[in-house]
Amino acid sequence: MGIKVVLSIWSSPLEDFVEYVKVADKMRLPFIHFDVMDGHFVPNCALGTSQYRDIKKLTDLPIDIHLMVTNPEEYVDMLDVQSGDRVAFHPETSYHPYKLLQTLHNRGITAGLALNPGTSLSSIEELVDQVDYILDMTINPGFNGQKIVPSGMEKIKRIREFLDSHGKKDAEIVIDGNTVIENAKQMYLNGANVLICGPSTLMKGPDKFEDLYNAYKKEIDAVKD
């Protein structure tokens, strides 16, 4: 199975927002990545209920929501996340992360945990049985354009080993952070299944996206051929 490559819509310039959603829908990407930031858990703010609803009107692709917020339970309700979509939250932001994972499943939502560079795997051991995927931050969350943290590549390997050893061989590892082609190849080899891409890789204009996407994905897939 080849790598999945997805678009981070937060990174889109406002004037191109709709066009990027349309081209993602036309290409039938696996899903569209959607960042929510509250200015508290991370020092930035991004996207919200109106943008989520706008995307849902434009496409039937699943929306992959990354909640970089405190009290993520409130945002699941605030956004009114729909069945078939995906939600990852940071376990340290919830008083009851296990219950939230259960709640997501009960609503027909694919449930993930997002790990900061400093979040240890041991801290999620009691949650992993409810996890469908891990969203691994290879940069500190909040801003684009950062370099991958020094332990970033090695941690991907450890996440894959951790999931496999806990009976979660089918759980995806989604990577967010500096997925330029040189890094992306190694991320894939280390066990990543999904790469989230923004301005540093594929977002050079909606009219260029499809060609850039196909070339990027082909080059990464080739490393395992």
Out of 38, 64, 136, 176, the active site residue is 176
Contact predicate 113/131, CB 8 Å: yes
User: How much is the pLDDT for 99?
Assistant: 97
Q: What is the pLDDT of residue 17?
A: 87
pLDDT tens track for 48-97: 778 899 999 999 999 999 998 999 999 999 999 999 999 999 999 999 99
* Alpha helices for the chain (secondary structure H): 17-27, 49-58, 72-79, 97-106, 152-165, 181-189, 206-221
pTM, two decimals, is 0.91
- Taken in order 172, 175, 180, 184, the sign of the CA dihedral is negative
Q: Name residues whose C-beta falls within 8 Å of residue 104's C-beta, 6 or more positions apart in sequence.
A: 76, 81, 87, 110, 111
Q: Among candidates 131, 140, 143, which has minimal Cα distance to 45?
A: 143
Catalytic residue (choose from 16, 35, 54, 207): 35
Q: Report the number of distinct structural domains present in the chain.
A: 1
pLDDT of res. 67: 94
The question of whether 35 is a catalytic residue gets the answer yes
Domain that holds residue 48: 4-224
Q: Please give the pLDDT value at position 146.
A: 60
Distance CA 24, CA 46 (A): 20
Confidence (pLDDT) at 1: 58
In this prediction, residue 50 carries a pLDDT of 83
For the chain, residues with pLDDT lower than 70 are 1, 40-47, 141-146, 225
CATH of the domain at 144: 3.20.20.70
176 is catalytic: yes
Residues of the chain with pLDDT > 90: what percent? 71
